[in-house]
Amino acid sequence: MILFDSFRQELATTGRAWGGWTVTIYDSIGGVSSVRVVVDKFYGRVLNDPQWAHYFAGVADIDKLKSHQRSFIAAAIGGPEIYQGRDMGAAHATLGITARTSMRS
């Protein structure tokens, strides 16, 4: 336990642990399986929320979207996945997202 605490403290303060090994956010949260859980929970929420669900009504393949989202997030937090979806501007251009979109009314 003491070893684990010192690992966590070193990681939190330096982003490195055990004398120089770089530990990515991806690794520290548990890698691909944790990313999968987060993405599943995320779409489980937005697709069942009246404020958000309509944005996704036109998406033909939700599994493909989730797959792209997993690789996007994994790549962003240091994982080995390669994102092969569209760029963010193209993916969201026609959705009518505005600064007010994120506000609950």
- Residues forming the site for ligand HEM (CB under 6 A): 52, 55-56, 59, 65, 68-69, 72, 85-86, 91-92, 95, 97, 101
* Residue 21, Ramachandran bin (φ over 0: left; ψ between -120 and 50: alpha; else beta): beta
Q: Which tokens in the block code for residue 45?
A: 């929420």
CB of 96 to ligand HEM, least distance (A): 9
Q: Which is nearer to ligand HEM, 16 or 86 (CB)?
A: 86
Distance separating alpha carbons of residues 51 and 97, to the nearest angstrom: 12
| Nearest residue to ligand HEM on Cβ basis | 85
Residues 6 or more apart whose Cβ sits within 8 Å of residue 38: 73
CB of 52 to ligand HEM, least distance (A): 6
Distance separating alpha carbons of residues 81 and 35, to the nearest angstrom: 11
CB of 5 to ligand HEM, least distance (A): 33
Phi, psi of 17 (to 5 degrees): -150, 155
Q: Which is nearer to ligand HEM, 2 or 60 (CB)?
A: 60
Q: Which is nearer to ligand HEM, 7 or 55 (CB)?
A: 55
CB of 22 to ligand HEM, least distance (A): 24
